[in-house]
Structures are given as structure tokens and as C-alpha cells.
Structure 1
């Protein structure tokens, strides 16, 4: 793909040079001495940024630097090198980038109601087709072969998750399971991402209950852990999905309160087996890798952490006393992460963790 006149040749290797995704979570916990973070360079006039997309191998990072909150335009980091401007992405909200450098995103088209899901390929913006029943479309993620998951707003009202299959002329609208009103509440659905098998992960209903859809549109509600009322999906990576639980209210002194025995926590699903588990101490789940390693914040501190085989590991920070920070991407090896580290006085840094 061409960005700002440069040709990017993308190889399927992680930032740390690790191998292909494992089929199960990493067997050994990380070592504090092996895990290290380092910042990626920012433009000289930037004091903050927001990550918009990382390719599955972690070689390409799309982010929008800013100066005191004023956006400076989307930029691309390749293999940790200096950022390059991405003029084609102006006014486009990026949802993801795949290993070939194709970007999926959403833009507002002047003079047209609503938004439009688009691809940026070879430096050109390619609109994705709008279903006849829809007024607006948005992208949520893209996989290696170029399938895009997103959400459309319907002319009749409500929303549907949608799958734009690579090479297909017509997008596929994704509904919740027939008759599953207890979990979904309504027929509204929305997507949060897609894996390389073409499985879309998202939510159904106004209360956002986690769902998955196979490439032919078959819907399955994601399992709810014992003691919880519902779970909402937030991310997908390989055969894994990440979400957050909502505790079932209990009565205390005549009032309904969250059950202290079942607080809101991160939830992980195996998309092949359907198994669900609570990630103890995780709050604010953020990202999950193809190995099943999940990233979020640890309860009580808000510090970014990763979960290896049921144990939480707090990530070291590249600056002292950081403000709440975000891990946006977990590599297929489960040992490499990319995120944004923020400091109240020093602004934000784009950071990479290796060996974690």
C-alpha cells in the first residue's frame, strides 16, 4: 500500500520478531526483568496522541498526534521508525489496519446524511457499499484478507452489525439469534471487531449483550459467567474475544445495588469452544491477542496490566507517575504490546512493551 508516496512492504512478523500466533494462552508468566517499555518518536510539535489502528503483526501503527488537544493529522509508524503523514486519512476515523496496510475507517461525507465506512488502499479512499435498508455505515475492524466488520443505521430505525466480505458485492446484515429477546432485549446489533476466520464479534440489544457471527451470518450469544446478568464484548483477537461483565443487582436495605460477590470484571471467551472465564482483578478491558493474552487495567490502581494464565502482570511505564494509560494492541505472541502512556504534565507517549 502507498502512504504519502512511500511503498510499504509488509512482512508477517511482530515488532519483537516473534513467531506465528499460538493456539492457546502463553504457558509461562512474564518476567518483570524481561519486560521493558520504550517510546516511539512523536512529531516535534506533538504533546499527545490517540492510537487508531495497529496491524496484526504490530509493524504498522496509525495514530493521530495532537498539540494541547488540537489534532495534527493522522500519521503512520512503520517498524518503530519516525512517523509519516497520511493525507488520505484526513477526516477519517480509523477502525483498523491489516497486514497489507489496508485501512478501514469511517468518514463524514459533506452533503450526505450520516457517515460512510471506507477503505484506504494504495493511498485512495474506497467507499464500502451501503445496504439499501441503511442510511449510515461505520467500520469497526478489518482482517487479513480484507473483510470488514461494522455497523449500519437502518432507515426503519435501529442498528445492525454488518459484514463486508472481501470481493462480495453486497454486505451481509447480522441479526441477533431468533427469539433471543431475554439476552438481546431488542434486535439492534453492533460490531466491535473481526478475526481472520471472518468471525464477527459484537453486541446485541440496548444492554449490549455479547454476540458472535460466523461468516454466513449465523448468530450465537456469548456465554454469561455464573452470577452475572450480562456481558458486553469489546475486542477480538484470533480465537478469543474480550468483554466486560455487568453484575446482577441484589437488594441491600431495600435498595438494589451491585452484588459485591460478583463485581464488574473483564471476561474472556474462547470462540471455538464457547468457554467463558472471569479475569480476576481486571477492570476496563482493552485488547486481546491471538494467544488469548488480554490487556486491561488492574483493579484498585488503574495501572495497565496483562493477564497470563489467570495471573495479572502490571506493565512497567516509560515515564514516572503516569496518568491512566491504555494498551491498544496485544501481539500474537502475547509478549508484545502497543499503547498510549499519558502524564498530566508530560503529555502522552506512544509506547511499545516487549518481553512481557
Structure 2
């Protein structure tokens, strides 16, 4: 087996790191201070994404994207994960579910979204529905040739950077009929309740919305009635791989900063890396990144190789679980190596420490990933995780 990245993959990785360092890193402090990327900076960053050639990295050329393989996307996303405050989200990834839309929907939503002229937010979670989407209370009823949407949604990420929302609702209040709907902004009966603040500061907001008998034309349904959960699962696989990529990028940056500090910081007339307590932390960090990164690129390769969809889903859960928890441990150790300096907000490691905590929660908590993994073992045996291929 050849685990070396191709020349093209290495080129994309290097370019993404340069983009991150030149375009995104200079925005870290101002984003952290404001709680979001300031409005007056957003259009310039959007244009930079186009200029650098990162518009639509996760969709086909046919649909206006770049047509990159999953390994190529992963090489880019890993480097974007180095930046703090969720600024990696400035490089948009239109929801994968849009590729299952009608041609008219692709033309109206997906193609312009790939070029950055539109952006969609996903509205799934609710006060009583997170890990269990069957608990969704948002309903959709077809009356007089119009869909009527009612309910509330939480954690609608990037709402204030988006001009449409994909809403997960139950048709006829039936959890066996989960269905997706396209809602354009502004919509009079889609009410923005608030955008709460969180432990991390993020490029864009995470809104709470209410739908008060919102009317939609029939052609605003995405996919078929009852297909919503399947389309959402495809989105979860991609999102979990993206989180794993960002986790590795964040952990690597923190480890690099800790390694440099341990080399240059002297106490008792010697670099602190000469003390075994520090050296062992650096060694553990390196091993954890090495193992997690190997798994990351294996799963990306499996997707490109057309491995069975169920196996990809199983492996994506294991990957998201492992990489997010590895990043938490690595960044915690990096902060410890940096000591008081690592606890200062001006230090990237402090911001990474706050940022990385959510990766064990969103797009499926660590506990839900373990439920998925345990279920796969019961149904298919340990070999789904222990076999080489």
C-alpha cells in the first residue's frame, strides 16, 4: 500500500496552508474580540476564497464545484483546521443534500452556492431533538398546494452568513416522514429569535429560529417525502470527516507551537524540552496525531474507492470520535507545555482549546458515535473496524 500523497494532493495541502496563514490567521484576533467575523470583512474573505481557487471544494464540476476527490478535500480541510475561531467556515461547503435536488433547485441553489453567491444553513436540531432526530417537532403539512411549516430550530450555524435555510421537518407530524425544505431569506414567517453566545467565538452565528405557519411552494421540497433522514446522514458523513480533518489541523498547530516553545524556553539553564516531563508530553502528542491522521486519510481513500456506504458511515463515526478526542488531549497538553502563556487569549493555543471542545458535541456527540460503533459491531462484527480492508 502506498500512503504517500500525490503531487497534486501535496500541492493542494501547501496552498491551503498558505491561504490559512495569509488570509485567515490575520483575522483571528479581531474575530475573537468581536465574537464573529465583522460584517465589513466578510466580502473580502469571500472574494479571497474565489481568488485562491477554493470555491465549491466538495461538489462536482457539473454542479459548479471543483470536482475534487475526498482525499484532495481532506488535504485542504486539514490545513484550514489550523485556524482558530471557526474561520475555516469562510471556505464554504454547500450542503451535500443539494446535489439530490431537481435541476431547477441545483441551478437556483447549488451552483451559485458553489461560487459563493449563495449560502445555505442547515436547521435540524431543536430544544428536544438533537441526537435523536425522530424527536423533531417541526411539522410540514400540504394544504391547497402549499407547504405549511411550523416549529422551532436551534443551532442553525452560519445563519447570518446565509441567504437560505434547509429545514428538516416531519410531514404530517409523522417521524417516519422526515423531509427537507428550502426556505429563502428573508421570510416573514421565519423569525430569528436570537443568536446565543457560546464558549468559542465563531466566524458566523448559531441562530435559533421559529417558523410560524411559513408557506412554501411545493417545489421547495428537497428530495422526496420521508427522504430527509437519508439525505441528512450523507451530510453527517461529510461533516464528520470535515470535523476530523479540522481536529487534526488544530492539534498539529498546537503541537508545533508547544514544540517550538519547549525548544526556546529555558529554565534552570536548559531548554524545558530537556526535562522528561515535557519531552514525554511532546512524544504523546506526536503519536496521537500520527495515528489519527493515518485513520483520517484511510477513510477519505475509502470514500474515493467506492467502499460500501454503510461501511463508510461506520468508519466516519469512529473517525470523528477518535480525532475530536485526540485533538482535545493534544491541545490540553500543548497548553500545559506553554504554561501561563498558553492561557492568554492572544495565544492561538488558548483559542484552539476553546474551539476544539465543541467537536465532541456537534454533528453527533462522542456518546452517539459510540452508539453507532457499538451497533455496527453487533450487526456486522468487530471486523468492520479490525480488518485492514
Please report the TM-score for the alignment, with normalisation by the length of structure 1.
0.30
The structure whose residues are more often strand, as a share, is: 1
* Structure number with bigger Rg: 2
Please report the TM-score for the alignment, with normalisation by the length of structure 2.
0.28
